[in-house]
């Protein structure tokens, strides 16, 4: 019994924290921050899932993870003029998946033996290339983007008006979380990926190609990034080059770090936590005198505190 509890410790700690935070916020009349935080946080969590997957399989901090999403947004934007919205959406996901595949093939694979810091620079290079091409093909300005529904219905949650697209986001994420959970515990491919991330040599020995899995993992990560972008960004009504890198990548990394960089549920819950903390803390009196928007500052503080105090992550296992 105790072993089962210990094996699920990351889940339990994360859930307990989330519930405690939710209760606290409702009790103090901050429902609005809670709901908004959960929706943005879910998107962070989704990007974070991609980061953790890639980190587990190739040991790379993938700085191109955000741009998988922005590229999908651009694809959606361009295809939306040509075809039906839902078809455009599908096309956008396919474009992102291709980008993930090509990144692994062209950049990551040749550098398999290189120091990890060099790989980090390489993925950052991919991100900048994507941003550069976005500015080149489009321009540096923000662009309007269509929402999934012509009419935005507002739904009341805890007495807070929420656009239905945000509810869709959460629902999508819940479904995805379950699908991913099943994938990694029930399917051969999923189990192989987990195995490859923990024991690469042993996995090779039983006849599974770690390298072939690697490209699959990158595709999955890219698709996750695309989903996060396609669901979360249109809420704002517009997007600009590099948006997923400048406003989603660092919160997502922080979420992944909260989960010790290795725990999938930890990363997702970490994302939700970051979202909530962000939406509460931006209005906190502590930051009142600081000029500009506070979202990045809050994330910076959280990241610094977590790394200095508990480098193995809040939800990570003891000896990470």
Partner 1 sequence: MTAVTATEVSDEERGNSQMRPAGGGRFRPSPIGWLARAVIWAGVAYLVLVVPLGQSPTDVQQFTRGVCYAVVALSLNVMLGYVGQISLGHQAFVGVGAFTSAYMVTTQGQSFWMAVFVAAAVGGAQALVLGAVSLRIRGLYFALITLSYGLVAQDNIFEIQELTGGGAGQQAPKPQWFETEWRYYYLCLAFLAIVLYVDWRMMRTKSGRALLALRENPRVASTFGINVRLATLFAFVVSGVFAGLAGALIAHNDTQVSVDVWNFNLALVFVIMTVVGGLRSRWGLVIGGAFFALLPYLIEKIPGFDELLADIPWVPRVLTPEIAPLVIGPLLLLINLIQFPGGIGQQLRPITRWLGGHRFDIHDKGPKEVQITDVRA
Q: Which is nearer to partner 1, 63 or 218 (CB)?
A: 63
Least distance (Å) between residue 221 CB and partner 1: 16
- Which residues in 132-151 contact partner 1 (CB under 8 A)? 132-133, 135-137
* 289 near partner 1, judged by CB under 8 A: no
Lookup result for tokens 């901090």: 61
* Number of amino acids touching partner 1 (CB under 8 A): 56
Residue of 65, 215, 245, 279 that binds partner 1 (CB under 8 A): 245
* 237 near partner 1, judged by CB under 8 A: no
Q: Buried (b) or exposed (e) across 84-99, using 16+ Cβ within 10 A? A: eeeebbebbbebbbeb
Q: Which is nearer to partner 1, 135 or 191 (CB)?
A: 135
Angstrom distance (rounded) from CA 30 to CA 165:
21
Least distance (Å) between residue 301 CB and partner 1: 9
- Token duo for residue 201: 């040599």
Least distance (Å) between residue 31 CB and partner 1: 27
Q: Buried (b) or exposed (e) across 285-304, using 16+ Cβ within 10 A? A: eeeeeeeeebbeebbebbbe
Q: Which is nearer to partner 1, 134 or 235 (CB)?
A: 134
Angstrom distance (rounded) from CA 48 to CA 45:
5
- Which residues in 47-66 contact partner 1 (CB under 8 A)? 59, 61, 63
Angstrom distance (rounded) from CA 21 to CA 27:
10
CA-angle at 166, arms to 158 and 216, nearest 5°: 135
Q: Which residues form the interface with partner 1 (CB under 8 A)?
A: 59, 61, 63, 106-107, 110-111, 114-118, 120-122, 124-129, 131-133, 135-137, 242, 245-246, 250, 253-254, 257, 260-262, 290-297, 299-300, 303-304, 307-308, 311-313, 316, 320
């Amino acid at each position: 019994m105790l072993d089962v509890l210990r094996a699920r410790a990351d889940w339990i700690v994360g859930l307990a924290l989330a519930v405690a935070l939710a209760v606290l916020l409702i009790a103090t009349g901050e429902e609005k921050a809670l709901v908004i935080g959960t929706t943005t946080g879910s998107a962070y969590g989704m990007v974070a899932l991609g980061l953790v997957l890639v980190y587990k399989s190739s040991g790379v901090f993938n700085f191109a993870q955000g741009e998988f999403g922005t590229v999908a947004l651009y694809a959606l934007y361009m295809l939306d003029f040509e075809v039906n919205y839902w078809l455009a959406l599908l096309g956008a996901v396919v474009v992102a998946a291709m980008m993930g595949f090509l990144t692994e093939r062209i950049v990551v694979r040749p550098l398999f033996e290189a120091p990890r810091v060099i790989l980090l620079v390489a993925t950052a290079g991919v991100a900048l290339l994507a941003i550069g091409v976005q500015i080149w093909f489009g321009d540096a300005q923000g662009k309007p983007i269509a929402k999934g529904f012509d009419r935005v219905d507002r739904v009341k949650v805890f007495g807070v008006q929420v656009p239905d697209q945000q509810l869709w986001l959460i629902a999508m994420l819940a479904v995805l979380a379950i699908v991913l959970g099943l994938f990694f515990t029930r399917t051969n491919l999923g189990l192989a990926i987990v195995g490859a991330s923990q024991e690469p040599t042993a996995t090779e020995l039983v006849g599974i190609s770690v390298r072939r899995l690697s490209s699959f993992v990158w595709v999955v990560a890219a698709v996750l990034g695309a989903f996060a972008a396609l669901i979360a960004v249109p809420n704002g009504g517009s997007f600009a080059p590099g948006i997923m890198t400048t406003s989603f990548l660092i919160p997502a990394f922080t979420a992944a770090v909260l989960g010790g960089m290795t725990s999938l549920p930890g990363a997702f819950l970490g994302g939700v936590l970051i979202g909530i903390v962000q939406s509460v803390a931006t209005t906190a009196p502590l930051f009142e005198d600081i000029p500009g928007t506070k979202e990045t500052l809050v994330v910076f503080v959280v990241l610094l505190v977590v790394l200095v105090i508990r480098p193995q992550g809040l939800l990570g296992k003891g000896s990470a």
